[in-house]
Amino acid sequence: MAYGIGGGGIVGLAPEATPNTYLAPTKFFPITSETLNYTEAHYLRRSIRQNVDVYGVIQGNVNTIGDMEFEATEDVVPFFLNASRLTVVKTGTTNFTYTCTPNANAQASKTLSLTIVRNNQVFGFVGCVVGSWSLSTAEGILMMRVSIVGSDEATQSAPSPTFAQIAPFATGQYTFSIPQGTPITDVDSFEFTAEDNAEPQFRLKSTGRGAQYIKFGERNARLSFDRDFPDRTEFDSFKATTPTTVRILASKGANNSIQIDIPQAVRDVYNVQLGSQGDLIRSHQEMQCVLDNTAGYPFQVTVKTQENFTP
């Protein structure tokens, strides 16, 4: 939540019981950056007459949009996955497992209220969904970036934050397997991205100017990473468009982990280049996640945590 810009700030969220209806934060968390903003489309009156100037401005549709980046701790990630194009199923009574599976719905099943305090001024964003998100590593720390598209914003009451003290996933807590069940230990970074092409939808109504809802478009899920170049086996599978399974696990123990499973990943970028004399030979790979008819999904994320909320 707190971050050191302009006198400090607070970020909190709450899954909305009613879409586009503000709820005070039920969860506070630290971030590294955010760019969430209110956008407004004005209609400029410039009819043909004896004047060349704009002679009036009419208020138009509004929505909110921006990015947020934070440490991908197991207590925060499920909230944002729950507001994306995923079906989230919770199991457990003390230690909880959230199994997050992509669906083809046009809308998110849950929207978020996001409360941001900037320099002691409170911004209340409503109807927020996650249009795209990524999990990646930065200096060994697991990070999450979410692109938020929301309905509207209004001033709200100042929250009273309570901060959870949960350490991020860091070096020595990763297992990267290609194929699943075969760990490799020469990957130094990765980025997994799910893009659902969210767009605000405006309708004629008498209940304000905010977006009626946010709709999704086509999905594109990709994995990119760098590793030592082992031999031509992977390169030849890239040339042959041969699919493989992938599993990425960040774990602090049996009940605190984030796992990404890809049942059918196809390499569509494979770069190998010579460095300087005596340097390592490295490969950069990008994989497209393809819908697997047997599994029924292109990827799946499983989060194990003590955080308890109702999807």
- Position 8 scores a pLDDT of 58
At a CB cut-off of 8 Å and minimum separation 6, what does 4 contact?
Answer: none
Structure tokens given for 80 = 């944002």
For residue 124, the enclosing domain spans: 9-42+57-305
263 with 245: CB under 8 angstroms?
A: yes
Burial 83-116 (b: 16+ CB within 10 A, else e): bbbbebebeeeeebebbbbbeeeeebbbbbbbbb
Helix (H, G, I), strand (E, B) or coil at 78: helix
How far from the centroid of its chain's Cα atoms is residue 98's Cα? 16
Hey, how many other C-beta atoms are within 10 angstroms of the C-beta on 273? 9
Specify whether the CB–CB gap between 65 and 130 falls below 8 A. no
Residue 49 within a domain: no
The count of structural domains within the chain is 1
Q: Is residue 311 part of a domain?
A: no
4 in a domain, yes or no? no
- pLDDT for 28-38, tens place per residue? 999 999 999 99
* Distance, C-alpha 151 to centroid of its chain: 18
Whether 47 is in a domain gets the answer no
pLDDT tens column, 93-124: 999 999 999 999 999 999 999 999 998 899 99
Q: Is residue 211 part of a domain?
A: yes
Count other C-beta atoms under 10 Å from residue 136's C-beta.
18
Query: Which regions of the chain are under pLDDT 70?
Result: 1-8
Dist CA 114 CA 120 (whole Å):
15
pLDDT of residue 276: 78
- The pTM of the whole model exceeds 0.75: yes
Give strand pairing partners of 70: 144
Residue 204 lies in a domain: yes
Helices (H), 143-266: 232-239
Burial class (CB within 10 angstroms; exposed 0-12, middle 13-18, buried 19+) of 59: exposed
3, part of any domain: no
Instruction: Report how far residue 137's alpha carbon sits from residue 71's, in angstroms, rounded to the nearest whole number.
Output: 10
pLDDT value at position 11? 94
**Confidence at residue 286, expressed as pLDDT on a 0 to 100 scale:** 98
pLDDT of residue 272: 94
Question: pLDDT at position 7, please?
Answer: 47
**Domain contains 232:** yes
CA atoms 133, 258, 165, 157: torsion sign: positive
pLDDT at 164: 87
Tokens of 204: 């004629």
